[in-house]
Chain A
Amino acid sequence: MHPPAPPGTIALSVVVPLYNEQESIPALVDAVRGALAELPSWELVLVDDGSRDETAAVAERLAAADGRVRLVRLARNYGQTQAMQAGFDHARGDVVVSMDGDLQNDPLDIPMLLAKLDEGYDLVAGYRKGRNDKFLTRKVPSFFANRIIAWLTGVRIRDNGCSLKAYRRSVLQQLDLYSDMHRFLPALAAATANARITEVPVRHHARRFGTSKYGLSRIAKVSADLLAIKMITSFRDRPLTMFAGGAVATVAAGVAIVVAWALLPLRADSPVERAYVLPGAALLAFALGCFLLMLGIIATVALHAPRALGGEPHPSTLAQAPE
């Protein structure tokens, strides 16, 4: 779609996902242009994530006026993760910087991110100092979420939610984003691409246009995603270990119940408890352990089957009648 640039000619790609940001884009493009004036070569990849307003038209106009600004339009609204993935796929720079389209990030921070990257890192995450957001619905949940993410994944980033990040191209090439994984990009990059990661403080401005597209309803979703990312980052090469761990825990609980049952004094007033309830609970625990172990084996199938089965897709069983 875009003419390929000769390799190595573009040092930096700035990727900005946009969803209904028609007011922000002109100022955004100006800010990026100003901030990167010193750089020899850069491009700005605007990704329109199926906006319902004039975002695409405004971006197209700006792209036509400046050859360094490019527009990628998604066929519908896919969400931020896919918009970022599309931007990464279309970026041609050796270094890629991602940024929000709402002007809350400041492009003036980009040179600092690049300098940090040059110190030998693969991913530099910004963290918002003096964050200008609602306290109770944004800052507090975000604080706990980041603590939990750091604890679960071992990647100590203060602010996973800050979009302003710089990546080496080689790292992005090893990532395939799905679901809402953009929130866990550093953890994912550490697990699948072995990326060296650090963070730097960045500016954060209050929202000038439009409204925030997030709310508290994210908590349930993020909790589920956290569990998933924990599994992916810690057990993607040995899922059986994780499920076996669960199996051992439940079987241990079952054994404990059996022991309690054996030690329970025979009393005249508790015949039912002794005869049925505790053995029943123990059997359930054993069954659960077996179930988890079998699931662990299925997880191993999921890990190996796509590659181990290999080969070409099977030819169709249907055929068109030839002449």
Chain B
Amino acid sequence: MNGSLVRPGSASAAQRRATDDPARGPVDVSVIVPVTERPAPLAELYREYVAPLRASGRSFEFLFAVPPERREAVAPLAALAAEGEPVRVVAAERSVGETALVREGLRASRGRIVVTLPAYYRVQPDGVMALVAAVERGADVAVARRWPRRDPLVNRLQNRVLHAMVGSIAGNHLNDVGSGVRALKREAFEDIPLHGDFVRFLPVLALHRGYGVQEVDTPQHPGDLRTRVYRPGVYLRRVLDLLGLYFLLRFLDKPLRFFGLVGFFLSLLGLITLVALFIRKATGESIGDKPLLLLGILLLTLGVQAVALGLIGEMIVHFSAAGRRIYRVRPLPPAPMQ
């Protein structure tokens, strides 16, 4: 029964795909809703977003991916499913983050186009249809850009700063990576490696994998207008995310270039300190009682450590590269027979 919550008993059930079931053919659009922190009432959310999709005449399904601690949030969906609405619940066995929820939702889905939708209000329901249409016109990935923005200046400033950083790191000009509303071709979605908690950077990763990403201006939902100021820890995590993204995009297969540069400058600083001190000693000054001496030695040590860590990274890359390919080939149009 759609929407019923059944705990799968085995790994084979976990790996079984919906498309293996002959009763379920592929649909046009799958909407994946990862049920993360503070979800909106999901039955209402579903009713609001399903309307334009239903009106468009496309076949579709909604999948709510939910970790154990938020099971009660999806309870109202069972009633919807009983009414015959195409709603399914993808149940996680343990507490996992948004990325894993999306990944499992994708695995269970069967849409030719897959949409990710936050479990709270971000964009107007019609905007989702605009994304689907963009993918149908040929984009690999379409991302909602909340525009025009009507939320408080604080939100928009944060958004600007984040995207200035993402843009300089990834060398792209995306304006709203974090809207969370995206439509993707199924093949592209399945091909983009999603690990850790990097689903928030999905458009960036798609570009990196060589897919065409299109931003679609989408009116903001009235439910998205509250001021968002987070605890300091949240901002710290964002900064760490960006550092991770920076490394992933720039240095993943060449870690020594990063650590080598860091190590080089640390050692250089250490050497300059030491040389300066020895010159002063040569002029008769006592240097033994100067903390600068220890600083110089410490910097030198740290520099060597950075380079050594970079070498470890290179080692890992070398052995992980075996049998793998980084590039992706663009499919050619069917060629005439020669």
- Find out whether the CB atom of B90 lies under 8 angstroms from the CB atom of A303: no
Residue in contact with A85 in the complex, picked from B88, B209, B327, CB distance below 8 Å? B327
Supply 24 A–B pairs (Cβ within 8 Å), ascending by A: A50-B210, A75-B210, A75-B211, A85-B325, A176-B322, A176-B325, A224-B310, A228-B256, A236-B315, A272-B288, A273-B286, A277-B289, A280-B297, A292-B308, A295-B308, A316-B11, A316-B14, A318-B65, A319-B92, A320-B16, A320-B18, A320-B91, A322-B16, A323-B21
Given contacts A1-B331, A86-B327, A318-B91, 11 further A-B contacts (CB under 8 A): A72-B329, A73-B330, A74-B330, A83-B327, A86-B325, A178-B326, A281-B297, A315-B14, A319-B91, A320-B88, A322-B16
User: When A and B form their complex, what is the total count of cross-chain residue pairs whose Cβ atoms lie within 8 Å?
Assistant: 203
- Find out whether the CB atom of B308 lies under 8 angstroms from the CB atom of A179: no
- Find out whether the CB atom of A270 lies under 8 angstroms from the CB atom of B211: no
Given A317-B93, A320-B104, CB of A180 within 8 Å of CB of B254: yes
Q: Which residues of B contact A60 (CB under 8 A)?
A: 332
Q: How far is the CB of B306 from chain A (nearest CB, A)?
A: 11
Q: How far is the CB of A102 from chain B (nearest CB, A)?
A: 21
Stretch at the interface among B1-9, B117-125, B156-164: B1-9
**A107 interface hit (Cβ, 8 Å):** no
Given A74-B327, A85-B325, CB of A295 within 8 Å of CB of B108: no
Given A228-B314, A302-B312, CB of A318 within 8 Å of CB of B260: no
Q: Which residues of A contact B56 (CB under 8 A)?
A: none
**Interface residues in chain A, defined as those with a beta carbon under 8 Å from any beta carbon in chain B:** 1, 50, 60, 64, 67, 71-76, 78, 82-83, 85-86, 89, 176-180, 220-221, 223-225, 227-228, 231-232, 236, 239, 242-243, 246, 250, 269-270, 272-274, 276-277, 280-281, 284-285, 287-288, 291-292, 295, 298-299, 302-303, 306, 315-323
Q: How far is the CB of A74 from chain B (nearest CB, A)?
A: 5
Q: How far is the CB of B88 from chain A (nearest CB, A)?
A: 7
Cα(A316)–Cα(B103), bound, Å: 10
- Find out whether the CB atom of B210 lies under 8 angstroms from the CB atom of A321: no
Q: Which residues of B contact A273 (CB under 8 A)?
A: 286, 288-289
**B82 interface hit (Cβ, 8 Å):** no
Give the most central of A50, A71, A73, A302: most B CB within 10 Å: A302
Q: How far is the CB of B95 from chain A (nearest CB, A)?
A: 10
**B89 interface hit (Cβ, 8 Å):** yes
Q: How far is the CB of A73 from chain B (nearest CB, A)?
A: 4
Cα(A298)–Cα(B308), bound, Å: 11
Question: From residue 4 to 46 of chain B, which have CB atoms closer than 8 A to chain A?
Answer: 4-8, 11, 13-16, 18, 21
Q: Which residue of B lies closest to A221 (CB)?
A: B257
Cα(A318)–Cα(B94), bound, Å: 8
Give the most central of B14, B91, B319: most A CB within 10 Å: B319
